[in-house]
Structure 1
Amino acid sequence: MFFPPFCMPPSTESRRQYQRYKLEMMKAFRDSLETRLAAVNAAISTVEQQISQEGE
């Protein structure tokens, strides 16, 4: 089995694989943040509604 030395630049295919992995990780991170943001927005809306109902 051949192991290239560490000083060799990565192959084009390994770079593409890393870029695909990185993209999938960033998409998963974004989806998680969007879910959390939706929950926070819903909580804010609920509290705003409760405040406006108390004022009536």
Structure 2
Amino acid sequence: MFPPLCCDSGVDQASRRRHHQSRKMAMLSFWRDGLERQLAAVTAAMDTLQRQIDRDAQSDS
């Protein structure tokens, strides 16, 4: 991530580090949530397709 654009001399290094880490955690959680939604959509599409394949195989028999 990028360093802060303006450093506040009144805030100690540990506090800035904690703030940076919490923002990074929020960003990573946001990315993970999006990926989980995409994975759920792909999984649902695959399940639906498999049911259709199974149904078509039974009707051909």
The TM-score, its normalising length taken from structure 2, stands at 0.74
1:22 alignment partner in structure 2: 24
* 2:14 is the counterpart of 1:12: yes
- Root-mean-square deviation (CA), in Å? 1.7
1:21-47 CA-partner distances (Å, limit 9, x unpaired): 000001101100110000000000010
Aligned pairs for 1:1-56 within 5 A: 11-56=13-58
Runs of 4 or more, structure 1, over 3 Å off, are none
The TM-score, its normalising length taken from structure 1, stands at 0.80
What amino acid sits opposite 1:14 in the alignment?
R
In structure 2, runs of 5+ residues without a counterpart are: 1-6
- Residue correspondences, number: 49
In structure 1, runs of 5+ residues without a counterpart are: 5-9
